[in-house]
Amino acid sequence: MTQSLYDGKNVGLSYDRLDEARSRYFGGSTNCWGGHCRPLDSLDFKKREGVPNSGWPFGKEELDRYYERSHSLLKLGPFEYDESKWSQKMAKDDLFLFPLDRECLHNVISQINPQAKFGDIYRAQLGEAANIKVMLFSNATEIQTNDTATTVTGVRVRTLNGKSFTISARIVVLAAGGIENARLLLLSNQTQRMGLGNGRDLVGRYFMDHPRIRSDIVRINAQQRHRRLYDQTMVLSRAGYFSGDARISAHVAPTSECQRKLSIPNSKTYFVARYTSGMSKAYLGLRAISRQVKGRARFGYSFGDMARAIIRAVPAIVGNVPEAIIGVLDTHLNPRFVKRAFELWTIIEPIPNYDSRVTLSSARDRLGLNKVEVDWQVTERDKLHFISLRKLLTQEMTRQGVLQFVGEPVDPAEIWPKNIVGCWHHMGTTRMDSDPAKGVVDANCRVHGISNLFVAGSSVFPTAGSDMPTITIVALALRLAGELAANLGRAGSHGCGDVWRLGGRKR
């Protein structure tokens, strides 16, 4: 199976299987994302105290128009993230954001893509486009260059049934994801022993994911007024908040002023409904079955593995049917008489860490290529940031009457690093910097030292913010496409505008 080519080894912080955390089929990782979208904040692009190795080569204003254009491609609602404007709309539906004073914490709006899979959305359009050729089951295995590795000449391609060929190209854009972008550059080592773009040993370094941490148990004081916006069990179901074409979610974050004052990075805090152990066991059982069934369909999991997972899960489901039904009804009806407890979840912006990295292992995949090893590491500074943020959340949300914390505060040693999980946001491995000594690509996403090799995707992110990366990936892709089209036009190419058109229509 093609999906097995994503297999690799985790040697750092506990992480999901690498052949599950990505989707190697048409539509890519939009086949397994939750659809959350929000542009990065202005501060996310700046060099900041408390965030070593921070700073993009340009500010948010460089991407603003591309963020706006991204909305139509991502099937989002109006390009509007101002909380005061959304508050007015929500009030008509008797739904309200938390009453925060904005001195330290503020409400943040995200939008959710209702049609998540790009392969489904754009398959027909791509198939009809005269200027695009989509090749499935064709795996890029090597980027070929001239003798000095200053110009790319083509891409070597192989299939699992033994066919191989080379595609010659004037320009190559590597857009294989935050792990595979680095892997392909490292594998392309025929001319440069350490891999393309890797003369400074930066390819694969600064690997980031968003650490997601479960901490405290809380109650929302005005649950009926707020839950549909902040509780992910409702947000990700049809019980969440819709306004026309827009599907809306909210979370809590420190203000830019507070981030500067406390020297902490950005973050995102939301809630997940907490149910009885019976409800949780039934839910986890259903989730395990769903994961195996989908995994067999998508990734080729064996029938035996799926059968064993179902056998293990059935007793938990059957033994807790009443509790499971109550949980479903609670999520969709949000009854006024139930005072629900919630788990507090926080996603923190990670510190770019030189020692967190993707490398090649000696193990080989079915094409004979070196598999990857992922050494995901967080730093002591990440831990201190989380502790400071948790203290801020506890003090401010209690003081402002938003939450009640249930029981005694949990010892941070019981939370970090035990409760850290990733978000499958693979970033930073070909980071962007105008200085070749500090980055793999320049401000235009071109690999330093190579005239016609570009990288697209979250692997170029120098810093990651606290939100979902997809809309920024799309904005950067639109910006890069425009630059390539303009350069081809200046070179006298006919029809070069088609480089940034889809199906003949400007996007």
Residue 364 pLDDT > 70, yes or no?
A: yes
pLDDT for position 57:
98
User: Which pair of tokens denotes residue 299?
Assistant: 């990734």
Rounded to a whole number of angstroms, the CA Rg of the chain reads 23
Average pLDDT of the residues in 220-230:
93
Kindly report, as residue ranges, where domains of CATH 3.50.50.60 are found in the chain.
1-76+120-211+350-370+417-507
The answer to whether the CB of 343 falls within 8 A of the CB of 274 is yes
Q: Strand order of the sheet with strand 8-10?
A: 8-10, 370-375, 357-364
Say what percent of the chain tops pLDDT 90: 70
Average predicted confidence (pLDDT) for the chain: 88
- Give the torsion through C-alpha atoms of 396, 399, 401, 403, to 10 deg: 50
Residue 32 pLDDT > 90, yes or no?
A: no
| DSSP conformation class of 351 | P
Residue 445 pLDDT > 60, yes or no?
A: yes
Listing DSSP states for 389-432 in one string gives HHHHHHHHHHHTTSEEE-SSPPPHHHHTTTTEE--S--B-TT-B
Q: In CATH terms, is domain 1-76+120-211+350-370+417-507 a member of 3.50.50.60?
A: yes
The answer to whether the CB of 138 falls within 8 A of the CB of 164 is no
Residue 279 pLDDT > 50, yes or no?
A: no
pLDDT for position 487:
82
Closest CA to 32 of 40, 41, 23: 23
Whole-number Å distance between alpha carbons of 411 and 248? 33
pTM of the complete model: 0.88
Residue 138 makes CB contacts below 8 A (sequence gap 6+) with 157, 158, 159
The length of the chain, given as a count of residues: 507
Whole-number Å distance between alpha carbons of 45 and 298? 36
Whole-number Å distance between alpha carbons of 29 and 27? 7
pLDDT of 314-345, one tens digit each? 775 665 555 555 566 666 666 666 678 999 99
pLDDT of 371-422, one tens digit each? 999 999 999 999 999 999 999 999 999 999 999 999 888 888 899 999 999 9
Whole-number Å distance between alpha carbons of 291 and 284? 10
**What sign does the dihedral 399-405-409-415 (CA atoms) show?**
negative
The answer to whether the CB of 214 falls within 8 A of the CB of 345 is yes
pLDDT of 174-184, one tens digit each? 999 999 999 99
User: Which pair of tokens denotes residue 425?
Assistant: 């946001």
